Amino acid sequence: MTVEVAGTTTVLPGVVFEGRAVVEDWCVSGSSSGKGTPPATTVGDGAVIHSHTAMCAGNRIGRNFSTGNKANIRENNEIGDNVSVDTMAVVAGNPARRLKNKNELPYG
């Protein structure tokens, strides 16, 4: 198992990579907007997380996951195998769905 994390990236406690992964520059994984210990985030084997991606705490992500640059994965999502999140996309809610505007976000 090899996890390659760029030197400018922050992986917070509670984030578990379950196999091979590449995390490019300026990413943040496991952040939480709440107080206390954030829930764990798991990322399956074969992940490629491109630069400037933010993954919040509490996500369960399957195998062969990939993001474009600046993707935003909000809290507590369940993402299956072989999923690609496009550049500058926001994944929010469980189940995630396409939003028309930011006023539909399921948080504050």
Q: Where are the domains of the chain?
A: 3-91
Residue 72 has φ and ψ, to the nearest 5°, of: -130, 110
Output the pTM of the full model.
Answer: 0.85
Contact, 85 vs 62, CB < 8 A? no
The residue with tokens 């760029």 is 6
According to the model, what pLDDT value does residue 108 have?
Answer: 47
According to the model, what pLDDT value does residue 9 have?
Answer: 98
Residue 99 has φ and ψ, to the nearest 5°, of: -105, 145
> Residue 23 has which token pair?
């995390």
According to the model, what pLDDT value does residue 1 have?
Answer: 73
The residue with tokens 């933010």 is 54
Which residues in the chain show pLDDT less than 70? 96-102, 104-108
Homologous superfamily, domain 3-91:
Hexapeptide repeat proteins (2.160.10.10)
